[in-house]
Amino acid sequence: MQEPLFLDRTTPPRIVTLILLAGLSALTMNIMLPSLPGMATWFGVPYGVMQQSVALYLLLSALLQIVIGPISDRYGRRAVLIWSLVLFLLATVGTLLAPTATWFLIFRMAQAVIASGMVLSRAVVRDMVADERAASMIGYVTMGMSLVPMIGPVIGGALDDLYGWKANFALLLILGLGTLALVWADLGETATLRRVSLMDQIRSYPALFASQRFWGYTLSAAFASGCFFAYLGGAPYVGDKVYGLSSTHVGALFALTAIGYAAGNFFAGRYSVRIGMNRMILLGCLVTTAGMAILALLTALGHSGPTMFFGLTVLMGLGNGICLPNANAGMLSVRPDLAGTASGLGGAILIGGGAALAAFAGVLLGPGSSEMPLILLMLASSAASVLAILFVLRRARQIGLA
């Protein structure tokens, strides 16, 4: 009997499909970072011009996440993912053929359409299972993709040394083709389609904005991950200017946070159902805040150093790994019929807020600065995440959900 061209919604995707979708989105974001100086030389432009490829990508990614969710609620996760992958492949070919830096930046921005993989992998999980089970499954998905930020720049640097910067985008093209084939074969439609226009979908935003629980989950995730984004924005300066470490050494120390994050994701995947979504978010936020408080205290007492600074970020990674899968599941559980919309809005707020904190960290760390301003910013962001989830717990008790 001939296989159907499209899978029906009773055919859920394998978890590896969701991991690859989210992982490709993360890899596209950072694989080319080591190649930026060589690309500036290739195109004959200042380094600052090529560095804009990072900021522009993040900006468009945040904006796209706002509309990807509603579009997928209307037309389905499968269709949006397939078209996003097709457009991503076309944009990737464009980066390889770009004759000037301007054209490269245009195609690089177009690659941001792969943000749908990050947004909709979470929405698909929420389509398939309920709250705590969704948090558990998202934990396993993000545990798999948490390795990507750790190894992406390493792979990119090796490919650049061996074959030049275009090898990074050639790899993305190959991985994109493989992911498209896997999605086509494995990912059936999981959403219950809502036969309304896109504008009607966008008009549903107030329903989410009016939800105190949605804001509580979103802000707890945004501030928890904001601690990490601030670290990304300031840690290279601290490693180089404050501690005098080489770029290779700093890059290796960044892996400590990723290890903690993977461990936290594993813990979330294993125990979210047993402990409960809200309590897991609180636990994760408290772990991160405790790590930052210890770091601030030891630094104030004069016990600072690269081992102390980078070592305690393991707790930040661990806390984020516990918090974020559950907070993401919480966002999507407020209005299950708007899961795609909630995922997109939540993702946009997370990325936008994280980018702002990363930029603010750069402003705080001027010439002659110590590591303390960055530590205090990270502590403040993490403490705000605790307040946000405590608000959710209070609201849940009021409406009888606790």
pLDDT of the residue at 3: 39
Tell me the C-alpha distance between 340 and 202, whole Å.
Answer: 11
The encoded tokens of residue 182 equal: 């896997």
The encoded tokens of residue 277 equal: 């979504």
Please tell me the chain's helix, strand, coil percentages from 3-state DSSP, rounded to the nearest 5.
85, 0, 15
Q: Is 203 strand, coil or helix?
A: coil
Cβ proximity of 290 and 318 under 8 Å: no
- pLDDT by residue for the chain (402 residues), tens digit each? 343 433 444 466 777 788 888 888 878 877 776 677 678 889 888 766 776 777 677 778 878 877 787 787 777 788 889 999 999 999 999 999 999 999 999 999 999 999 888 778 777 776 766 555 656 666 666 665 556 766 676 777 778 878 888 999 999 999 999 999 988 988 777 666 666 666 666 666 777 777 788 888 889 998 998 888 788 767 777 877 788 877 667 767 777 887 888 888 888 878 887 888 889 999 999 999 999 999 999 999 988 888 899 899 899 999 998 998 888 888 877 776 676 677 777 777 877 777 677 767 767 776 777 889 999 999 999 999 999 999 888 876 766 555
pLDDT of the residue at 27: 84
Tell me the C-alpha distance between 377 and 323, whole Å.
Answer: 19
Return left, alpha or beta for 305; rule: phi > 0 is left, psi -120 to 50 is alpha, else beta. Answer: left
Of 1.20.1250.20, 3.30.420.40, 3.40.50.300, 2.20.28.10, the CATH number of 15-202 is 1.20.1250.20
The encoded tokens of residue 319 equal: 């806390």
Element (H, E) at 229: helix 212-237
Domain with CATH 1.20.1250.20 in the chain: 15-202, 205-398
Q: How far is CA 398 from CA 169, 208, 215, 288, in A?
A: 51, 19, 16, 27
User: How far is C-alpha 205 from the chain's CA centre?
Assistant: 22
Q: What angle do CA 150, 27, 262 make, to 5 degrees?
A: 40
pLDDT of the residue at 188: 75
Question: Please, which residues have CB within 8 angstroms of residue 110's CB and are 6 or more apart in sequence?
Answer: 87, 90, 91, 94
The encoded tokens of residue 47 equal: 């380094």
What architecture (CATH level 2) is domain 205-398? Up-down Bundle (1.20)
